A = this chain, B = another copy of it.
Amino acid sequence: MSHPPLHSSMFIGVQGDGIISFGSGQPDLPPPKEVFSCLPTYHDFKYGPVQGSEKLRKALALEYRGFSHENFVITNGASEALDLTLRVIAKPGEKILLHVPYYYAYKPLVELNHYIPSLLPTHDGKIDFADFEKMVPDVKAVVINSPSNPTGRIQEIPTLKKIEKITDDLNIPLISDEVYKDLIYERENYMLHGRRVITVNSFSKTFAMCGFRVGYLFSTDKEIVDRAITLKTHTSMNTNILGQEMAYHATTAPKSFIESHLKIWKERRDFIYSEMVKMGLEVWKPEGAFYILPKIQNSEQFVWDMFQKHKVITYPGEWFGAPNRVRFSFALDIGKIEEGLERVEQYLKER
Contact = CB atoms under 8 A, between A and B. Distances in A.
A239 interface: yes
Interface string A180-213: 0000000000000000000000000000111111
A243 interface: yes
Interface in A21-61: 24, 26, 30-31, 35-36, 39-40, 42-51
User: Chain B CB within 10 Å — which of A83, A109, A208, A241 has the most?
Assistant: A241
A237 B213 contact: yes
B9 A230 contact: yes
Contact of A234 (B92, B112, B212): B112
A79 B235 contact: yes
A220 interface: no
A236 interface: yes
Copies of this protein in the assembly total: 2
A151 interface: no
Contacts of A92: 92, 114
A236 B9 contact: no
A8 B242 CA distance: 22
A31 B48 contact: no
A76 interface: yes
Contacts of A238: 12-13, 211, 213
User: Chain B CB within 10 Å — which of A7, A42, A43, A235 has the most?
Assistant: A235
Contacts of A167: none
B9 A208 contact: no
Contacts of A211: 44-48, 238, 240-242
Interchain residue pairs A-B with the least CB separation, the first 7: A211-B241, A105-B234, A240-B240, A39-B39, A40-B40, A13-B49, A76-B236
Given A105-B233, A105-B234, A213-B236, 15 more contacts: A12-B47, A12-B237, A13-B48, A13-B238, A26-B47, A40-B40, A45-B208, A77-B236, A79-B235, A83-B234, A83-B236, A87-B112, A213-B238, A236-B236, A240-B240
